[in-house]
Structure 1
Amino acid sequence: MLSFLTGFSIGLSLIVAIGAQNIWVLSQSMAGANRLVIAAVCIGCDALLIIAGVSSIATLQQWIPPLVPLLTAAGVLMLLYLAYGAAQRAWQGSSGLLTNSEVQLQSTGKTALTAFAITLLNPHVYLDTVVLLGSIGNAQPSPLWFTIGACLASLCWFGALTGLAPKLKLLLSSPQRWRLFDSTVALLLTLIAGKLALSQL
Protein backbone atom coordinates (compact mmCIF):
# COMPACT_ATOMS: atom_id res chain seq x y z
CA MET A 1 0.00 0.00 0.00
CA LEU A 2 2.88 2.38 0.77
CA SER A 3 4.37 1.79 -2.68
CA PHE A 4 0.96 2.36 -4.28
CA LEU A 5 0.39 5.64 -2.42
CA THR A 6 3.91 6.81 -3.21
CA GLY A 7 3.42 6.08 -6.90
CA PHE A 8 0.05 7.81 -6.96
CA SER A 9 1.21 10.93 -5.11
CA ILE A 10 4.46 11.41 -7.01
CA GLY A 11 2.82 10.55 -10.34
CA LEU A 12 0.05 13.09 -9.77
CA SER A 13 2.50 15.79 -8.67
CA LEU A 14 4.65 15.34 -11.77
CA ILE A 15 1.75 15.09 -14.23
CA VAL A 16 0.16 18.28 -12.94
CA ALA A 17 3.48 20.10 -13.41
CA ILE A 18 3.45 19.56 -17.20
CA GLY A 19 1.66 22.83 -17.92
CA ALA A 20 1.56 22.93 -21.72
CA GLN A 21 -0.07 19.52 -22.00
CA ASN A 22 -2.65 20.29 -19.32
CA ILE A 23 -3.57 23.63 -20.88
CA TRP A 24 -4.13 22.02 -24.29
CA VAL A 25 -6.14 19.12 -22.84
CA LEU A 26 -8.37 21.40 -20.78
CA SER A 27 -8.85 23.92 -23.60
CA GLN A 28 -9.87 21.25 -26.09
CA SER A 29 -12.13 19.53 -23.57
CA MET A 30 -13.93 22.72 -22.62
CA ALA A 31 -14.51 23.42 -26.31
CA GLY A 32 -16.21 20.04 -26.71
CA ALA A 33 -13.41 18.33 -28.63
CA ASN A 34 -12.88 14.55 -28.80
CA ARG A 35 -12.42 14.23 -25.05
CA LEU A 36 -12.33 10.43 -24.98
CA VAL A 37 -9.59 10.35 -27.63
CA ILE A 38 -7.54 12.97 -25.79
CA ALA A 39 -7.84 11.12 -22.47
CA ALA A 40 -6.99 7.76 -24.04
CA VAL A 41 -3.85 9.08 -25.75
CA CYS A 42 -2.53 10.96 -22.70
CA ILE A 43 -3.26 8.15 -20.24
CA GLY A 44 -1.96 5.46 -22.60
CA CYS A 45 1.32 7.28 -23.28
CA ASP A 46 1.90 7.95 -19.60
CA ALA A 47 1.20 4.34 -18.65
CA LEU A 48 3.55 2.93 -21.30
CA LEU A 49 6.36 5.33 -20.37
CA ILE A 50 5.96 4.65 -16.64
CA ILE A 51 5.98 0.88 -17.18
CA ALA A 52 8.98 1.17 -19.49
CA GLY A 53 10.82 3.31 -16.96
CA VAL A 54 10.31 1.04 -13.95
CA SER A 55 10.98 -2.18 -15.88
CA SER A 56 14.01 -0.88 -17.78
CA ILE A 57 15.65 0.54 -14.68
CA ALA A 58 15.40 -2.89 -13.04
CA THR A 59 17.05 -4.50 -16.06
CA LEU A 60 19.77 -1.87 -16.26
CA GLN A 61 20.54 -2.42 -12.58
CA GLN A 62 21.55 -5.99 -13.38
CA TRP A 63 23.93 -4.76 -16.08
CA ILE A 64 25.22 -1.68 -14.25
CA PRO A 65 24.75 -2.08 -10.45
CA PRO A 66 25.75 1.52 -9.53
CA LEU A 67 23.17 2.97 -11.95
CA VAL A 68 20.11 2.85 -9.70
CA PRO A 69 21.77 4.57 -6.70
CA LEU A 70 22.98 7.32 -9.05
CA LEU A 71 19.53 7.72 -10.60
CA THR A 72 17.95 7.69 -7.14
CA ALA A 73 20.29 10.49 -6.06
CA ALA A 74 19.39 12.39 -9.22
CA GLY A 75 15.73 11.74 -8.45
CA VAL A 76 16.15 13.23 -4.96
CA LEU A 77 17.71 16.35 -6.44
CA MET A 78 14.96 16.59 -9.05
CA LEU A 79 12.24 16.21 -6.40
CA LEU A 80 13.84 18.95 -4.31
CA TYR A 81 14.06 21.18 -7.38
CA LEU A 82 10.40 20.60 -8.19
CA ALA A 83 9.48 21.18 -4.55
CA TYR A 84 11.35 24.48 -4.61
CA GLY A 85 9.52 25.52 -7.77
CA ALA A 86 6.15 24.64 -6.25
CA ALA A 87 7.01 26.50 -3.02
CA GLN A 88 8.09 29.54 -5.02
CA ARG A 89 4.82 29.55 -6.99
CA ALA A 90 2.85 29.20 -3.76
CA TRP A 91 4.74 32.12 -2.18
CA GLN A 92 4.32 34.38 -5.21
CA GLY A 93 0.71 33.37 -5.76
CA SER A 94 1.00 33.71 -9.54
CA SER A 95 -0.12 30.21 -10.58
CA GLY A 96 -3.38 29.22 -12.18
CA LEU A 97 -4.16 27.08 -15.20
CA LEU A 98 -5.21 29.69 -17.73
CA THR A 99 -6.88 28.53 -20.93
CA ASN A 100 -7.67 30.08 -24.25
CA SER A 101 -11.38 30.33 -24.91
CA GLU A 102 -10.87 30.51 -28.68
CA VAL A 103 -10.17 26.88 -29.58
CA GLN A 104 -10.32 25.50 -33.10
CA LEU A 105 -11.93 22.07 -33.11
CA GLN A 106 -10.16 19.34 -35.06
CA SER A 107 -11.10 15.98 -36.51
CA THR A 108 -10.69 12.85 -34.41
CA GLY A 109 -7.54 11.79 -36.24
CA LYS A 110 -5.92 15.20 -36.05
CA THR A 111 -6.85 15.51 -32.39
CA ALA A 112 -5.16 12.17 -31.66
CA LEU A 113 -2.02 13.16 -33.58
CA THR A 114 -1.84 16.48 -31.76
CA ALA A 115 -2.26 14.72 -28.42
CA PHE A 116 0.57 12.32 -29.29
CA ALA A 117 2.79 15.23 -30.36
CA ILE A 118 2.16 17.34 -27.27
CA THR A 119 2.76 14.33 -25.02
CA LEU A 120 5.70 12.60 -26.68
CA LEU A 121 7.60 15.65 -27.97
CA ASN A 122 7.76 17.16 -24.49
CA PRO A 123 11.19 16.29 -22.98
CA HIS A 124 9.80 16.70 -19.46
CA VAL A 125 7.56 13.68 -20.05
CA TYR A 126 10.54 11.35 -20.46
CA LEU A 127 12.45 12.89 -17.58
CA ASP A 128 9.47 12.56 -15.26
CA THR A 129 8.09 9.16 -16.29
CA VAL A 130 11.07 7.13 -17.50
CA VAL A 131 13.96 8.53 -15.45
CA LEU A 132 12.41 9.92 -12.28
CA LEU A 133 9.45 7.57 -11.77
CA GLY A 134 11.52 4.66 -13.06
CA SER A 135 14.32 5.15 -10.54
CA ILE A 136 11.99 5.91 -7.63
CA GLY A 137 9.71 3.01 -8.48
CA ASN A 138 12.58 0.56 -8.59
CA ALA A 139 13.60 1.62 -5.07
CA GLN A 140 10.15 0.85 -3.63
CA PRO A 141 9.28 -2.33 -1.69
CA SER A 142 6.82 -3.15 -4.48
CA PRO A 143 7.69 -1.60 -7.87
CA LEU A 144 4.55 -3.18 -9.34
CA TRP A 145 2.21 -1.38 -6.95
CA PHE A 146 4.19 1.83 -7.40
CA THR A 147 3.64 1.53 -11.16
CA ILE A 148 -0.07 0.87 -10.68
CA GLY A 149 -0.35 3.92 -8.42
CA ALA A 150 1.47 6.19 -10.87
CA CYS A 151 -0.66 4.98 -13.80
CA LEU A 152 -3.83 5.48 -11.75
CA ALA A 153 -2.75 9.06 -11.03
CA SER A 154 -2.58 9.70 -14.78
CA LEU A 155 -5.98 8.07 -15.25
CA CYS A 156 -7.57 10.19 -12.52
CA TRP A 157 -5.98 13.46 -13.64
CA PHE A 158 -6.69 13.27 -17.34
CA GLY A 159 -10.07 11.65 -16.70
CA ALA A 160 -10.97 14.65 -14.53
CA LEU A 161 -9.58 17.19 -17.02
CA THR A 162 -11.50 15.76 -19.93
CA GLY A 163 -14.64 14.61 -18.18
CA LEU A 164 -15.16 17.54 -15.82
CA ALA A 165 -13.64 20.31 -17.93
CA PRO A 166 -16.60 22.75 -17.75
CA LYS A 167 -16.71 22.54 -13.94
CA LEU A 168 -12.94 22.61 -13.53
CA LYS A 169 -12.41 25.84 -15.48
CA LEU A 170 -13.06 28.12 -12.51
CA LEU A 171 -11.32 25.85 -10.02
CA LEU A 172 -8.09 25.42 -12.00
CA SER A 173 -7.85 29.07 -13.03
CA SER A 174 -7.88 30.33 -9.42
CA PRO A 175 -4.42 31.43 -8.19
CA GLN A 176 -5.59 31.16 -4.56
CA ARG A 177 -6.55 27.50 -4.92
CA TRP A 178 -3.32 26.76 -6.75
CA ARG A 179 -1.30 28.40 -3.95
CA LEU A 180 -2.76 25.83 -1.58
CA PHE A 181 -2.20 23.03 -4.10
CA ASP A 182 1.40 24.09 -4.79
CA SER A 183 2.09 24.28 -1.04
CA THR A 184 0.84 20.72 -0.63
CA VAL A 185 2.89 19.52 -3.60
CA ALA A 186 6.05 21.20 -2.26
CA LEU A 187 5.64 19.58 1.15
CA LEU A 188 4.86 16.16 -0.32
CA LEU A 189 7.83 16.18 -2.72
CA THR A 190 10.19 17.30 0.05
CA LEU A 191 9.05 14.48 2.34
CA ILE A 192 9.44 11.90 -0.44
CA ALA A 193 12.89 13.23 -1.34
CA GLY A 194 13.94 12.90 2.31
CA LYS A 195 12.61 9.35 2.50
CA LEU A 196 14.48 8.36 -0.66
CA ALA A 197 17.70 9.93 0.58
CA LEU A 198 17.46 8.05 3.90
CA SER A 199 16.81 4.77 2.06
CA GLN A 200 20.26 5.02 0.43
CA LEU A 201 22.11 5.38 3.75
Structure 2
Amino acid sequence: MLFIEGYLNGLFISAGLIIAIGAQNAFILGQSLKREHHFSAALVCMACDAVLIVGGIFGLAVLLEDSPLGMQVARWGGVAFLVGYACLALRRAITPHVLQASTQPARSRRSVLLTTLAVTLLNPHVYIDTVVLIGAIGAQQEFPPIFAIGAVSASVLWFFSLALAGSRLAPWLARPTTWRIIDGVVAIMMLGVAWGLASP
Protein backbone atom coordinates (compact mmCIF):
# COMPACT_ATOMS: atom_id res chain seq x y z
CA MET A 1 0.00 0.00 0.00
CA LEU A 2 2.84 2.38 0.84
CA PHE A 3 4.45 1.58 -2.52
CA ILE A 4 1.26 2.54 -4.36
CA GLU A 5 0.91 5.72 -2.31
CA GLY A 6 4.51 6.69 -3.03
CA TYR A 7 4.06 6.04 -6.75
CA LEU A 8 0.86 8.09 -6.93
CA ASN A 9 2.46 10.93 -4.97
CA GLY A 10 5.29 11.08 -7.48
CA LEU A 11 2.91 10.79 -10.42
CA PHE A 12 0.56 13.57 -9.36
CA ILE A 13 3.16 16.00 -8.03
CA SER A 14 5.26 15.65 -11.16
CA ALA A 15 2.22 15.95 -13.43
CA GLY A 16 1.13 19.12 -11.66
CA LEU A 17 4.50 20.72 -12.39
CA ILE A 18 5.18 19.35 -15.89
CA ILE A 19 1.71 19.80 -17.40
CA ALA A 20 1.93 23.57 -17.50
CA ILE A 21 2.04 25.97 -20.42
CA GLY A 22 5.67 26.65 -21.20
CA ALA A 23 8.37 26.74 -23.84
CA GLN A 24 9.07 23.01 -23.73
CA ASN A 25 5.46 21.94 -24.19
CA ALA A 26 4.91 24.55 -26.90
CA PHE A 27 7.92 23.30 -28.84
CA ILE A 28 6.91 19.62 -28.64
CA LEU A 29 3.37 20.47 -29.72
CA GLY A 30 4.70 22.46 -32.66
CA GLN A 31 6.95 19.60 -33.76
CA SER A 32 4.07 17.17 -33.39
CA LEU A 33 1.82 19.32 -35.55
CA LYS A 34 4.47 19.32 -38.26
CA ARG A 35 5.18 15.59 -37.82
CA GLU A 36 8.83 16.51 -37.70
CA HIS A 37 10.72 14.10 -35.43
CA HIS A 38 8.11 14.78 -32.74
CA PHE A 39 8.40 11.43 -30.99
CA SER A 40 12.20 11.72 -30.92
CA ALA A 41 11.87 15.22 -29.44
CA ALA A 42 9.37 13.95 -26.87
CA LEU A 43 11.77 11.13 -25.99
CA VAL A 44 14.53 13.68 -25.33
CA CYS A 45 12.20 15.55 -22.94
CA MET A 46 11.32 12.31 -21.15
CA ALA A 47 14.98 11.35 -20.81
CA CYS A 48 16.00 14.81 -19.53
CA ASP A 49 13.17 14.84 -17.01
CA ALA A 50 14.08 11.35 -15.82
CA VAL A 51 17.74 12.29 -15.28
CA LEU A 52 16.89 15.57 -13.53
CA ILE A 53 14.19 14.02 -11.34
CA VAL A 54 16.33 11.10 -10.24
CA GLY A 55 19.33 13.38 -9.75
CA GLY A 56 17.27 15.83 -7.72
CA ILE A 57 15.77 13.18 -5.48
CA PHE A 58 19.14 11.63 -4.79
CA GLY A 59 21.12 14.73 -4.00
CA LEU A 60 21.39 17.35 -6.77
CA ALA A 61 18.75 19.57 -5.19
CA VAL A 62 21.18 20.52 -2.44
CA LEU A 63 23.91 21.39 -4.97
CA LEU A 64 21.66 23.69 -6.99
CA GLU A 65 20.35 25.47 -3.93
CA ASP A 66 23.94 26.23 -2.91
CA SER A 67 24.93 27.54 -6.37
CA PRO A 68 23.19 30.87 -7.05
CA LEU A 69 25.72 31.67 -9.79
CA GLY A 70 24.79 28.51 -11.70
CA MET A 71 21.11 29.34 -11.45
CA GLN A 72 21.74 32.89 -12.71
CA VAL A 73 23.68 31.61 -15.71
CA ALA A 74 20.87 29.18 -16.54
CA ARG A 75 18.29 31.91 -15.98
CA TRP A 76 19.74 34.49 -18.37
CA GLY A 77 20.74 31.89 -20.93
CA GLY A 78 17.14 30.76 -20.96
CA VAL A 79 15.88 34.34 -21.35
CA ALA A 80 18.14 34.91 -24.35
CA PHE A 81 17.10 31.68 -26.02
CA LEU A 82 13.39 32.26 -25.46
CA VAL A 83 13.52 35.80 -26.86
CA GLY A 84 15.40 34.58 -29.93
CA TYR A 85 12.91 31.76 -30.50
CA ALA A 86 10.00 34.19 -30.10
CA CYS A 87 11.49 36.50 -32.75
CA LEU A 88 11.75 33.60 -35.20
CA ALA A 89 8.14 32.62 -34.52
CA LEU A 90 6.98 36.22 -35.07
CA ARG A 91 8.82 36.39 -38.37
CA ARG A 92 7.08 33.22 -39.51
CA ALA A 93 3.72 34.59 -38.40
CA ILE A 94 3.97 37.86 -40.38
CA THR A 95 5.60 36.45 -43.52
CA PRO A 96 3.12 35.23 -46.17
CA HIS A 97 3.70 31.54 -46.89
CA VAL A 98 1.89 28.26 -47.37
CA LEU A 99 2.76 25.92 -44.56
CA GLN A 100 2.21 22.44 -45.90
CA ALA A 101 4.36 19.70 -44.48
CA SER A 102 5.28 18.37 -47.91
CA THR A 103 6.49 21.75 -49.24
CA GLN A 104 8.51 22.99 -46.27
CA PRO A 105 12.21 22.20 -46.04
CA ALA A 106 12.59 19.43 -43.50
CA ARG A 107 14.84 19.97 -40.51
CA SER A 108 17.30 17.25 -39.69
CA ARG A 109 16.73 15.05 -36.67
CA ARG A 110 19.95 16.43 -35.19
CA SER A 111 18.70 20.02 -35.49
CA VAL A 112 15.36 19.18 -33.88
CA LEU A 113 16.99 17.26 -31.04
CA LEU A 114 19.52 20.01 -30.34
CA THR A 115 16.71 22.56 -30.20
CA THR A 116 14.77 20.28 -27.87
CA LEU A 117 17.78 20.06 -25.57
CA ALA A 118 18.12 23.85 -25.61
CA VAL A 119 14.42 24.43 -24.85
CA THR A 120 14.65 21.91 -22.02
CA LEU A 121 18.02 22.56 -20.41
CA LEU A 122 18.25 26.36 -20.83
CA ASN A 123 15.00 26.91 -18.94
CA PRO A 124 15.69 27.40 -15.21
CA HIS A 125 12.09 26.43 -14.42
CA VAL A 126 12.95 22.88 -15.52
CA TYR A 127 15.59 22.66 -12.79
CA ILE A 128 13.37 24.34 -10.21
CA ASP A 129 10.48 21.98 -10.97
CA THR A 130 12.31 18.69 -11.44
CA VAL A 131 15.49 18.98 -9.41
CA VAL A 132 14.58 21.34 -6.58
CA LEU A 133 10.83 20.86 -6.02
CA ILE A 134 10.34 17.23 -7.02
CA GLY A 135 13.76 16.35 -5.64
CA ALA A 136 13.10 17.95 -2.28
CA ILE A 137 9.70 16.30 -1.92
CA GLY A 138 10.92 12.93 -3.17
CA ALA A 139 13.88 12.91 -0.80
CA GLN A 140 11.45 13.04 2.14
CA GLN A 141 9.38 10.06 1.00
CA GLU A 142 9.56 6.74 2.80
CA PHE A 143 10.44 5.02 -0.50
CA PRO A 144 12.22 7.61 -2.69
CA PRO A 145 12.83 5.18 -5.61
CA ILE A 146 9.10 4.46 -5.88
CA PHE A 147 8.34 8.18 -5.79
CA ALA A 148 10.94 8.72 -8.53
CA ILE A 149 9.32 6.06 -10.73
CA GLY A 150 5.96 7.78 -10.34
CA ALA A 151 7.41 11.20 -11.12
CA VAL A 152 9.18 9.92 -14.24
CA SER A 153 6.00 8.13 -15.32
CA ALA A 154 4.16 11.46 -15.36
CA SER A 155 6.73 12.91 -17.76
CA VAL A 156 6.59 9.86 -20.03
CA LEU A 157 2.77 9.85 -20.16
CA TRP A 158 2.53 13.61 -20.73
CA PHE A 159 5.07 14.01 -23.51
CA PHE A 160 3.98 10.86 -25.33
CA SER A 161 0.37 12.05 -25.19
CA LEU A 162 1.37 15.54 -26.36
CA ALA A 163 3.28 14.15 -29.34
CA LEU A 164 0.51 11.73 -30.26
CA ALA A 165 -2.33 14.25 -29.92
CA GLY A 166 -0.45 16.86 -31.91
CA SER A 167 0.11 14.49 -34.82
CA ARG A 168 -3.64 13.91 -35.03
CA LEU A 169 -4.00 17.59 -35.97
CA ALA A 170 -1.94 17.14 -39.15
CA PRO A 171 -4.86 17.95 -41.55
CA TRP A 172 -4.73 21.55 -40.35
CA LEU A 173 -1.12 21.87 -41.54
CA ALA A 174 -2.30 22.85 -45.03
CA ARG A 175 -3.97 26.00 -43.66
CA PRO A 176 -1.61 29.00 -43.56
CA THR A 177 -3.94 30.83 -41.16
CA THR A 178 -3.63 28.01 -38.65
CA TRP A 179 0.14 28.27 -38.62
CA ARG A 180 0.04 32.06 -38.42
CA ILE A 181 -2.05 31.72 -35.27
CA ILE A 182 0.17 28.98 -33.85
CA ASP A 183 3.36 30.94 -34.50
CA GLY A 184 1.82 34.06 -32.99
CA VAL A 185 0.71 32.21 -29.87
CA VAL A 186 4.10 30.50 -29.55
CA ALA A 187 5.87 33.87 -29.85
CA ILE A 188 3.67 35.43 -27.17
CA MET A 189 4.13 32.40 -24.93
CA MET A 190 7.91 32.46 -25.34
CA LEU A 191 8.07 36.17 -24.55
CA GLY A 192 5.82 35.67 -21.53
CA VAL A 193 8.04 32.90 -20.16
CA ALA A 194 11.16 35.00 -20.87
CA TRP A 195 9.62 37.95 -19.00
CA GLY A 196 8.82 35.70 -16.08
CA LEU A 197 12.41 34.44 -15.97
CA ALA A 198 13.87 37.94 -16.24
CA SER A 199 11.62 39.41 -13.55
CA PRO A 200 12.91 39.39 -9.97
Task: State the TM-score bracket (shorter-chain normalisation).
Answer: 0.5 to 0.7
Residue 151 of structure 2 is matched in structure 1 by 150
Matches within 5 A, 1:46-195: 46-56=49-59, 105-167=106-168
Give the C-alpha shift of residue 57 in structure 1.
5.7
Residue 16 of structure 1 is matched in structure 2 by 19
Contact 2:35 2:167 in 1 (8 A): no
- Using the alignment, how far apart are the partners of 1:160 and 1:131 within structure 2? 25
1:3 aligned to which of 1, 6, 13: 6
- Where in structure 2 are there 5+ consecutive unaligned residues? 66-92, 173-200
- Using the alignment, how far apart are the partners of 2:144 and 2:164 within structure 1? 29
Taking every aligned residue pair, what percent have the same amino acid on both sides?
44
Give the aligned residue type for 1:123.
P
- Using the alignment, how far apart are the partners of 2:54 and 2:13 within structure 1? 15
Give the C-alpha shift of residue 37 in structure 1.
1.4
Give the aligned residue type for 1:3.
G
- Using the alignment, how far apart are the partners of 2:23 and 2:149 within structure 1? 25
- Using the alignment, how far apart are the partners of 2:169 and 2:10 within structure 1? 24
Aligned-residue CA RMSD (Å): 2.7
Change (3 A) 1:168 1:6: farther
Give the aligned residue type for 1:141.
E
Change (3 A) 1:18 1:130: farther
Give the C-alpha shift of residue 13 in structure 1.
1.1
How many residues are aligned here?
A: 132
- Using the alignment, how far apart are the partners of 1:145 and 1:164 within structure 2? 28
Change (3 A) 1:168 1:139: farther
Contact 1:137 1:147 in 2 (8 A): yes
- Where in structure 1 are there 5+ consecutive unaligned residues? 61-66, 68-99, 171-201
**TM-score normalized by structure 1?**
0.59
Residue 17 of structure 1: SS of its match in structure 2?
coil
Matched, 1:40 2:43: yes
**TM-score normalized by structure 2?**
0.60
Give the C-alpha shift of residue 164 in structure 1.
2.4
Structure 1 moving runs of 4+ over 6 Å: none
